[in-house]
């Protein structure tokens, strides 16, 4: 990041951001009567993005500390979910076509000032902010500190390989009503989707395993539409 900052100072990014069109609201796109599906993609491959849009994907989640865009060409809203700890990364995200960002509560080592600054800068840039929390302590802390509108909960806990949905359901009970909740990890079948939806999850983030079967076919199964 420091090399990128040296090559392109923050002031240059600030000027470029001012010329951008408004974002495509990410959280608004995943709130509905049924659970939405967000596809994790690493590159802005036009055929893949077109297939995702055709299949009814609610949005895209892009991993990595910098967005390998440009994603501005797709009308699908884009959520950047890397390890974002510096405001410079938020400007990069906005310029690459991101509409929202994930801030990982545990990445700030209890540094409330840094987390608060990141949330404030993201808001200034018009980015939707999703707070990723790992346990009840982090959830209570960010609610008291920032009272965010949106959360991301990982079903696969650190140090484990299998999804722990009971942990997710327990944590969901502590999320205040009216918050937008995304769930990620280990979501493979219709029963899991129904359970998450019943627990209050608004969107499921799906990994690249979806691409092996086909986006449309996989989403049909997860939606319970298995008609030929």
Q: pLDDT digits over 15-53, tens only?
A: 999 999 888 889 999 999 899 999 999 888 889 999 999
CATH number of the domain bearing residue 158: 3.20.20.70
Kindly report the average pLDDT of the chain as a whole number.
Answer: 92
Full domain range(s) for residue 184: 2-223
5, with CB counted inside 10 A (0-12, 13-18, 19+), is middle
Q: What is the pLDDT of residue 228?
A: 45
Contact 66, 55 (CB under 8 A): no
Q: Looking at the domain assignment, is residue 42 inside a domain?
A: yes
Asked if the structure places residue 104 within a domain, the reply is yes
Q: Taking a C-beta distance cutoff of 8 angstroms, is the pair 193, 222 a contact?
A: yes
Residue 14 maps to a domain = yes
Query: Distance between CA 208 and CA 153 in Å, rounded?
Result: 18
The pTM (predicted TM-score) of the whole model is: 0.93
Structure tokens at 146: 């920032």
pLDDT at 126: 94
Domain count, the chain: 1
The verdict on residue 228 lying in a domain is no
Q: In the prediction, which pLDDT does 205 show?
A: 97
């Amino acid at each position: 990041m420091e090399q990128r900052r040296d090559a392109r100072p923050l002031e240059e990014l600030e000027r470029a951001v001012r010329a951008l069109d408004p974002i495509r609201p990410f959280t608004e796109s995943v709130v509905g009567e049924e659970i939405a599906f967000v596809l994790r993609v690493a590159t802005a491959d036009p055929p893949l993005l077109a297939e995702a849009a055709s299949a009814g994907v609610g949005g895209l989640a892009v991993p990595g500390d910098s967005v390998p865009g440009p994603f501005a060409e797709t009308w699908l809203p884009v959520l950047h979910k890397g390890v974002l700890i510096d405001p410079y990364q938020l400007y990069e995200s906005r310029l690459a076509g991101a509409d929202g960002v994930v801030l990982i509560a545990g990445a700030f080592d209890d540094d409330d000032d840094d987390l608060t600054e990141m949330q404030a800068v993201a808001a200034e840039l018009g980015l939707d902010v999703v707070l990723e929390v790992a346990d009840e302590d982090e959830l209570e802390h960010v609610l008291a500190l920032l009272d965010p509108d949106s959360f991301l909960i990982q079903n696969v806990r650190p140090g484990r390989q299998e999804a722990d949905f009971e942990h997710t359901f327990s944590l969901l009970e502590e999320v205040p009503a009216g918050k937008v909740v995304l769930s990620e990890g280990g979501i493979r079948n219709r029963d899991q989707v129904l359970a998450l939806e019943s627990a209050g999850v608004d969107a499921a983030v799906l990994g690249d395993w979806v691409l092996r079967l086909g986006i449309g076919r996989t989403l049909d199964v997860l939606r319970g539409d298995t008609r030929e």
